A and B are shown apart, each in its own frame.
Chain A
Amino acid sequence: MSIGPEKTGAQVMIDTLLSHGVEVAWGIPGGALLPFYDDLYNSSLRHILVRHEQGAVHAADAYARVTGKLGVAIGTSGPGATNLITGIANAKMDSIPVLAITGQVATASIGTDAFQEADTYGLTIPITKYNALLKNPDDVARITEEAIRVAMSGRQGPVHIDFPKDVQSGLTRKTTPGELKVPARHIEPVPLVGDLDQLADAINHAHRPVFYVGGGAVMSGASEVLLRIAEKAQIPVVSTLTGLGAFPGTHNLHLGMLGMHGTAYANYAVQECDFILSIGARFDDRVASDTKDFASHAVKAHIDIDPAEANKRVAVDIYVQGDARVVLEQIENSVLRVETREWAKRVAELRDANPLKFTLTGSDIKPQYVIHRIWERTRGEAVVATDVGQHQMWAAQYYPLKNPRHWVTSAGLGTMGFGLPAALGAKIGKPDSEVILFSGDGSFQMNIQELGTARENNIKVKIVLFNNGFLGMVRQWQEMFHGNRLSHSQIHFNPDFTAIAGAYQIPAMAISKPEEVEAAIDFLLNTDDIALLEVRIPAEEKVFPMIPSGKAYTSMMDYEHSGDGSVFSPNQFKEN
C-alpha cells in the first residue's frame, strides 16, 4: 500500500477507474455527488451527461456488451439511485459487467430520512454480484478495486458502490487498493472442473448432435473455436437470444434462434437431436419452457462458468465447469472430424421445408421485410440494438448477425426502454460500426428523452421505429390467448415522432407504404447524422413461429398464410 500525498475519496475512485482502463462513464450529477463531480471536472475520464439515470445504466450496459469492457453509470442519492435500479437488474439478468456508482447522504445523516436518502445498498443486494456502502475514504481504493474485479470475473455481472458525500470529500493517503478482502474465488479465473474426455466422447458418439449456444459463448470469446469444432464435426448450431452472433448467422450449420420465437427448424432439430451441448446457456423458460419435454431424446451436456447453473432447471448428463472458450479449446483436438453427416443434411431439409415466412401485400409495410432489407444493405455487419417486444423477436429472426458482440438486446429482464440508450452506448463502444436500433412505439417512449443525449454528443445511431399503435406483443398474446380482448394494449394517442425528432434537430421521416421502403432505407443509411425512420405497420402482424408459454415444442404454431398477398421467405443462407 503506497502512502503518498493525501487525496479525496472521489479522486481515489476516479484514479482506480482510470487504472482499469475505464474510458467513459454515463451519469447525472446531484447534491450528494457534488464532491465526486468536482474531482471529475479536471479528470481525463470521459463523462456523458444523460437525461435520466436509467439511460446511463443501459448505455453503460450496452457499451460493455459490444466492447467486453466495464460499463460505468453514475447517479445521485435517492431518486438518482432508484432510477438506476432497472438497469442494474437488466445487467444482472444478462450477466453484463456494469459498475453503478451512487451518491449517498453524508454518513452522519444515514438513517435519518435525510433529503434524497434511500437505502441504496439494501436495494441493490438482490441485483448485484457485489455491493458496498463506503464509510471511510481509506476504503475507497480497495472497494473500487474489489467491485471492478468481481464485475469482470467469472460469470460477469453488475456491482454497486454507494458513496456518501463526506467520504467523497474526505482525505486519505490510502490511494491504492492494498490487500483485497473478497475471497479469491470471486476474482480469479474459474477453474476448469469436469471430465473433458467424457464430453468429447459424447460428441463423437452422437449421431444427431446440436450445439445450443448462449450468451456465455459471446462473453468468453468462444466464437472462433466454436466455428472450428462445428465445421470439423458437422454439428448444427442453435442460439439463444443472447447467443446470437456467437456463430455466423448465415452459416449453413446455423439454425438461428431456438425456443418460444425460434425458427421452426431450430426447434425441430432440438426435438430430433440425440445429443445437445449447452455452451454458456441456461435452459431458461423461453427455451426450455416445458423442462421435461426439452430435447427429451438427447444426452444433455452443459458447459457453464457458473456451477449454480448446472441442473438448475434441466438435469444434464455431463457438466463441465469453466469458461466456454477454454473448455472448447481443450476438447477441440479430441473431437473427431466428420466429413459428411446425414443429420446435417436432415436439418438442411428441415430448414428448406420450414423457413421463416410472412406475407407481402401491396398495401402494408411488413416489419420483417424492412429488417430483412436493412440486413441485406448492411451485409449483416451492423451492430443491432433493440427494445423489447415484437420488433425484438423480428430482429432476432430476420437480422442474422455475422459477428459476436454486435447484438444489444435486453433478454433476461425484457426491459422496454432499453433500446435507445443502449444504441448510444453501443455506438460509443464501437464508433466505426453502423449502429441500428429497432424499436417500437411502446418501448421507444420509455426512454425517448435520450434523443437529447444523442444530439448533444452527435452519437450517430440509426433508429427504425416500428409504429403499430399498440404494445404489440401484449396485443398478440391477448388476441391469441385472451379471446382478443385487447385490454389497455392500444396506445390511443401517439405523438408525431418525426416532429419529436425534429425538435431534437434529428433528421427523420415516416413511411406507411411498401413502395416507400427502399428510399427510406437510403435516407436512414445515407444520412451522415443521427436519423430516425418511423415505419407504420399493421397492428395485426404477429411473431411466428411461437411455442405458447409452458408448452412443449410439439405445440409450436408456425406462420399460416391467409388472405391477399404472397408469402415471402428470406434466403439467409446463400453465402454457404
Chain B
Amino acid sequence: MTQSVLSVRVRNNAGVLSHVSGLFTRRGYNIDSLSVGVTENPEVSVITLVVSEAPEIVLQIEKQLKKLVDVLDIIDLTGEHSVKREVALVTIYVNKSNRHEVLTLIDVYEAHVIDITDSEVMVELLATPRRISSFIAVFADFGIKEIARTGTISLAYPSSRKGADKA
C-alpha cells in the first residue's frame, strides 16, 4: 500500500486532536504517523498524517476530515512535490570491537552523536522518513536499545506549490 501524506490545518482548539484521531479510530483508517505542531499563525496548528490506504479511502478520509468543524483545509503532500522530514533519536548498543565501525556508519548517514558510553551510542538523525528507516535497518544488526521518532512533517516546495492545494 502506498503511503499518503496529508497536511491538515486546524484551528488551535483544545480537543481538535481528539476530533481528528477519533475520526480515524471510529472509521477504521490506519495512521502510520501523526505529528502536530504550530504554524506561522498562532491560532492555527498543522497535523501531518501519514496513512497507508487505497486512493479511494484516502479520498474518503479527506472528505470526512473536511466535515470536522475545526479543520480549516487539507493539502495532499503525497509525492515528489513536497519535502518530508522526520527526526529520530536512536540508542545503539556498541562494544570495544565494533565501536569504530558504528561511528563510521553514523557518519555516512550524517547523523549526530548526542551521547556515548562504553556500551551505548545515542544518535540524532534528521532525514527523510525513508532514510531514517534505512538507518534503523542498518543498525539493527548491532542491536538497538530504543528508538523515538517524531513522525513525518511536510511542506510543499515553494516552486511546486501550484496544484498542490487540494482542499
A-side interface residues toward B, CB under 8 Å? 121-122, 125-126, 129-130, 133, 146, 150, 181-183, 185-186, 306-308, 311-312
A365–B67 Cα distance when bound, in Å, is 48
Enumerate B92-124 residues with CB–CB distance to A below 8 Å: none
The answer to whether A126 touches B22 (Cβ under 8 A) is yes
The answer to whether B63 touches A308 (Cβ under 8 A) is yes
Contact of B19 among A125, A133, A308 (CB under 8 A): A125
The answer to whether B15 touches A125 (Cβ under 8 A) is yes
The answer to whether B69 touches A308 (Cβ under 8 A) is no
> Smallest distance from the beta carbon of A71 to chain B beta carbons, Å?
20
The answer to whether A125 touches B60 (Cβ under 8 A) is no
Nearest chain B residue, comparing its CB with the CB of A185: B66
B64 within 8 A of A: yes
Contact of B56 among A133, A150, A181, A311 (CB under 8 A): A311
> Smallest distance from the beta carbon of A227 to chain B beta carbons, Å?
31
* Chain B residues whose C-beta falls within 8 Å of the C-beta of A181 in the assembled complex: 11
Q: Is the interface of B mostly helix, strand, loop or mixed?
A: helix
Knowing A133-B15, A181-B11, A186-B69, say if A125 contacts B63 (CB, 8 Å): no
B36 within 8 A of A: no
A186–B71 Cα distance when bound, in Å, is 11
Pairs of residues from A and B, 8 with the lowest C-beta to C-beta distance, nearest first: A308-B63, A130-B69, A126-B26, A182-B69, A125-B22, A126-B22, A308-B64, A307-B63
Interface centre among A125, A146, A150 (most CB of B within 10 A): A125
* Chain A residues whose C-beta falls within 8 Å of the C-beta of B26 in the assembled complex: 126
The answer to whether A150 touches B63 (Cβ under 8 A) is no
A162–B26 Cα distance when bound, in Å, is 22
Nearest chain B residue, comparing its CB with the CB of A155: B67
The answer to whether B60 touches A308 (Cβ under 8 A) is yes
Nearest chain B residue, comparing its CB with the CB of A311: B56
The answer to whether A183 touches B64 (Cβ under 8 A) is no
Contact of B60 among A133, A182, A312 (CB under 8 A): A312
A125–B26 Cα distance when bound, in Å, is 11
* Chain A residues whose C-beta falls within 8 Å of the C-beta of B64 in the assembled complex: 308
A181–B16 Cα distance when bound, in Å, is 14
A183–B10 Cα distance when bound, in Å, is 11
B159 within 8 A of A: no
Contact of A121 among B15, B59, B60, B72 (CB under 8 A): B15
B160 within 8 A of A: no
A307–B66 Cα distance when bound, in Å, is 10
Knowing A308-B60, A308-B64, A312-B60, say if A125 contacts B69 (CB, 8 Å): no
B-side interface residues toward A, CB under 8 Å? 11, 14-15, 18-19, 22-23, 26, 56, 59-60, 63-64, 66-67, 69, 71-72
A546–B135 Cα distance when bound, in Å, is 58
A307–B65 Cα distance when bound, in Å, is 12
A307–B62 Cα distance when bound, in Å, is 11
The answer to whether A150 touches B69 (Cβ under 8 A) is yes
* Chain A residues whose C-beta falls within 8 Å of the C-beta of B63 in the assembled complex: 307-308
* Chain A residues whose C-beta falls within 8 Å of the C-beta of B72 in the assembled complex: 183
> Smallest distance from the beta carbon of A351 to chain B beta carbons, Å?
37
- List 19 additional A-B contacts (Cβ < 8 Å) besides A126-B26, A150-B69: A121-B15, A125-B15, A125-B22, A126-B22, A130-B69, A133-B15, A146-B69, A181-B11, A183-B69, A183-B72, A185-B66, A186-B69, A306-B67, A307-B63, A308-B63, A308-B66, A311-B56, A311-B60, A312-B60
10 contacts between A and B (CB under 8 A): A121-B15, A122-B18, A125-B19, A126-B22, A133-B15, A181-B11, A306-B67, A308-B63, A308-B66, A312-B60
> Smallest distance from the beta carbon of B23 to chain A beta carbons, Å?
8
Knowing A122-B18, A307-B63, say if A129 contacts B56 (CB, 8 Å): no
* Chain B residues whose C-beta falls within 8 Å of the C-beta of A133 in the assembled complex: 14-15
A19–B150 Cα distance when bound, in Å, is 48
* Chain B residues whose C-beta falls within 8 Å of the C-beta of A307 in the assembled complex: 63
> Smallest distance from the beta carbon of A215 to chain B beta carbons, Å?
17
> Smallest distance from the beta carbon of A113 to chain B beta carbons, Å?
19
> Smallest distance from the beta carbon of A193 to chain B beta carbons, Å?
13
* Chain A residues whose C-beta falls within 8 Å of the C-beta of B22 in the assembled complex: 125-126
A183–B11 Cα distance when bound, in Å, is 10
* Chain B residues whose C-beta falls within 8 Å of the C-beta of A122 in the assembled complex: 15, 18
* Chain A residues whose C-beta falls within 8 Å of the C-beta of B67 in the assembled complex: 129, 306, 308
A126–B59 Cα distance when bound, in Å, is 20
A201–B47 Cα distance when bound, in Å, is 43
Interface centre among B11, B15, B23, B67 (most CB of A within 10 A): B67
* Chain B residues whose C-beta falls within 8 Å of the C-beta of A183 in the assembled complex: 69, 71-72
